[in-house]
Amino acid sequence: MNKRQTEIFRRLLTEPGRLWLVQDLADRTECSEKTIRNDLKVIEEYIVKHSSANLVRRPGRGIYLEMDELERIDLFHRLYADESRVQHESDEERVLHLAYRLLMAAKPVTIQDLASQYYVNKTVIRRDMEKIEDWLHSLDLALITKQRVGLTIQGSEKNKRIALARLNQLIDSPELTGQMMRKQFEPHEIATIHHELKTFQKRHELSFTDEAFEGLMLHILLMVKRTKLGQPISLSGQDIAFLQEKAEFTWATSFLQQLQKLFAVPFSREETAYLTLHLLSGKFRYQQEKRKGKQSDLADSHPLLPALVEQLIQRMSELNMIAFDKDKMLLNGLKIHLYTTLNRLQYGLTVSNPMLAEIKKMYPYMFDRVIIALEEVGRMIRLSFPEEEAAYLTLHFQASVERLHQRDSHPQRAVIVCHMGIGMSQLLRTKVERKFPSVHVETTISKAEVQDYLAAHEVELVITTVALPDIKVPHILVSPLLDAKDERQLEQVIRRLDEPEHRVADESVFFRYTTPFLVFPQQEVQRPEQIISKLARILENKGYVEEGYVESVLAREKMSATTIGGGVAIPHGGSEWIRQSAIVVATLRQPLTWGTEKVELVFLLAVKQDRREEMRQLFKELSLISEQPAMVHALSKETDAMRLLGKLKG
């Protein structure tokens, strides 16, 4: 959809109860009614492709979208993602190509040459270079400009290869990086290395994750290309001596000897050592019990690992008031994950996490606890953990919470209402029980049996493939095939049901700590740091926090952006600076780029963390708000503090 069609669709989504006249839409978008009717056909095709909603036309009255709330939220998220991608894709592709060309170039490149190649003026290229230069600086590389000579990147070969592997950090659409990088290599090169890596994996009984396999593919392809260009890697003699003692060095030597035959490229001892590093830090599991007939203990293979696992579990137990040390599955999972993490951090290797934004959105409280724990534990061992690693660890601890909780709680009693045959009903039941162990499906029934069954049995959840009349039991409409979108929505419903506060409605933590005097609509700022400082200063001036809280919030934001999706950010600082708990609310006149997301609603949290359950409840309340982007967008347009609070309560 183009920009006008997207804007029309957004209006239909954000005001679902309104009947829109074609003339009204034409006036607002300054085009003809005929154009609007053609636009509606495009919008309808988009709706049919991505949902089961309907665009309803009422002659003489107007048009509207017919859908349920979950469908509307999903479409809003999808529209926002599509809009961002269309708007930035061409610019992002150019930035990617510019960075790649500079990193691979053996000679200087002029701005005029780049402007001519990408059909833009030199001002656009200079703006792109500013972005690339800032990014390169974070990787200890420098963009050098010499008049009448051109641009070059200065730094070590190791850092250049790290930069090539992290090109996705330059843009908001990381999937473009993979597409672009694959175009830089010949199909036969990709096929050959894919085959050899699969053979290598089988020979050494390794089980790579898909992400690790793709990462190794890219690294090896770059190794071949950089070696051909006469750009060899350089490692210290101490590092090489250490790596030569590892079994992976022997594997890497054999692997590169085979590649040397296939590509007619000689690989140095340094290249072998560098490949060894990637093997040590890749996200895969060794089938160790089969190798040499012995059980290998990862805790003995890295000197920092035992203390790191112990301290992390201890601190997370304190922060969450949960005895994580009782979960042996968590302990084993952390050992395997943190072993590769330590190798990556020690040698400056990259890790990507395509689920980062989704994890922060689904588990904001646990992610925040992990960030805090890693910051404290990291200081002890002099390592800094990126947010991508924190997100992976969040999944480990969240899974542990659910395992420990299942031991102490009964499964949710559910029934499935399916309008199709017994085969489909049983398939759906099997999928639900396999995907969600905390759910016990009592039976599958037809729509006609629902009322009688609910009257005679105690049921906590109804999962249905057909729309039902109003029933008091929580229910969710899913596809008979239970696709990925259904699974996400069902997981959210089950999570809410599983909380004690779902059964006994508690007082809202959010409204306990905010007042109309702490609500500031329609703020105008250029950067997240500005709104954070402004709101924190307000709390400082009103005596809620001590001097130093502003710096505390900004420091937390540097660890990881506090966005949780849906246009919402929840900046917060250390509890030790808080005198009296308070929450400041601000809406932004224009959406603000905040990390990789756009934000319209900000909650600055200055809440004492001595009551963990209260903090969990607060994060849940804010997470529920983030799941309603249409409401967030409507709140951003409100100009009155009292009405804004009223809408939040409603």
191 and 178, same structural domain?
no
Share of the chain above pLDDT 70, in %: 90
Provide the number of structural domains found in the chain: 6
447 and 348, same structural domain?
no
Model confidence pLDDT, tens digit, residues 427-439 = 788 888 878 877 8
Q: How far apart are alpha carbons 474 and 457 in whole angstroms? A: 14
Calculate ∠ Cα 103-212-562, nearest 5°: 80
DSSP 465: S
End residue of a domain, out of 150, 182, 214: 182
Q: How far apart are alpha carbons 237 and 456 in whole angstroms? A: 76
So what's the pLDDT on residue 287? 42
Question: Residue 547 in contact with residue 540, Cβ under 8 Å?
Answer: yes
The answer as to whether 504 is a domain residue is no
The answer as to whether 113 is a domain residue is yes
So what's the pLDDT on residue 499? 58
Q: Check residues 483 and 9 and name the one with the higher pLDDT.
A: 9
Calculate ∠ Cα 381-383-387, nearest 5°: 130
So what's the pLDDT on residue 469? 77
The answer as to whether 72 is a domain residue is no
Per-residue confidence band for 423, with pLDDT thresholds at 50, 70 and 90: low
Q: What are phi and psi of 584, to 5 degrees?
A: -100, 135
305 and 399, same structural domain?
yes
So what's the pLDDT on residue 409? 56
Model confidence pLDDT, tens digit, residues 63-112 = 988 888 777 777 877 776 655 444 445 788 889 999 999 999 888 999 99
So what's the pLDDT on residue 3? 73
157 and 59, same structural domain?
no
So what's the pLDDT on residue 505? 43
So what's the pLDDT on residue 613? 74
So what's the pLDDT on residue 411? 67
So what's the pLDDT on residue 550? 93
563 and 432, same structural domain?
no
So what's the pLDDT on residue 190? 92
Closest CA to 617 of 523, 470, 506, 459: 506
274 and 146, same structural domain?
no
So what's the pLDDT on residue 298? 46
So what's the pLDDT on residue 615? 81
Q: What are phi and psi of 400, to 5 degrees?
A: -65, -40
Coil, strand, or helix at residue 594? strand
469 and 397, same structural domain?
no
So what's the pLDDT on residue 305? 87
231 and 244, same structural domain?
yes
The answer as to whether 338 is a domain residue is yes
Mean pLDDT of the chain: 84
354 and 258, same structural domain?
no
Model confidence pLDDT, tens digit, residues 174-226 = 677 878 888 888 889 999 999 999 999 889 888 777 777 888 898 999 999 99
So what's the pLDDT on residue 294? 34
Model confidence pLDDT, tens digit, residues 557-616 = 988 889 988 899 999 998 889 999 999 999 999 999 898 788 999 999 998 877 677 888
- Token duo for residue 362: 């689904």
317 and 280, same structural domain?
no
280 and 204, same structural domain?
yes
End residue of a domain, out of 261, 290, 319: 290
The answer as to whether 73 is a domain residue is no
DSSP 258: H
Per-residue confidence band for 293, with pLDDT thresholds at 50, 70 and 90: very low
So what's the pLDDT on residue 9? 86
Model confidence pLDDT, tens digit, residues 545-555 = 999 999 999 99
516 and 641, same structural domain?
yes
Residue 77 host element (H or E): helix 69-104
CATH, residue 195? 1.10.1790
The number of beta carbons lying within 10 Å of the beta carbon of residue 158 is 18
pLDDT exceeds cutoff 70 at 525: yes
The answer as to whether 322 is a domain residue is yes
CATH, residue 439? 3.40.50.2300
Q: Check residues 341 and 580 and name the one with the higher pLDDT.
A: 580
- Token duo for residue 473: 């039991």
End residue of a domain, out of 290, 323, 340: 290
CATH, residue 627? 3.40.930.10
pLDDT exceeds cutoff 80 at 322: yes
Model confidence pLDDT, tens digit, residues 264-283 = 999 999 999 999 988 887 65
Q: How far apart are alpha carbons 278 and 146 in whole angstroms? A: 35
The answer as to whether 74 is a domain residue is no
So what's the pLDDT on residue 471? 84
- Token duo for residue 501: 């506060």
CATH, residue 158? 1.10.10.10
CATH, residue 330? 1.10.1790.10
- Token duo for residue 46: 């988009």
So what's the pLDDT on residue 208? 75
Model confidence pLDDT, tens digit, residues 449-482 = 888 899 898 898 999 988 887 788 888 998 887 8
Model confidence pLDDT, tens digit, residues 395-415 = 889 888 877 766 555 667 899
The answer as to whether 458 is a domain residue is yes
Q: List the domain range (segments joined by +) for residue 42.
A: 3-67
So what's the pLDDT on residue 151? 94
So what's the pLDDT on residue 155? 93
pLDDT exceeds cutoff 60 at 288: no
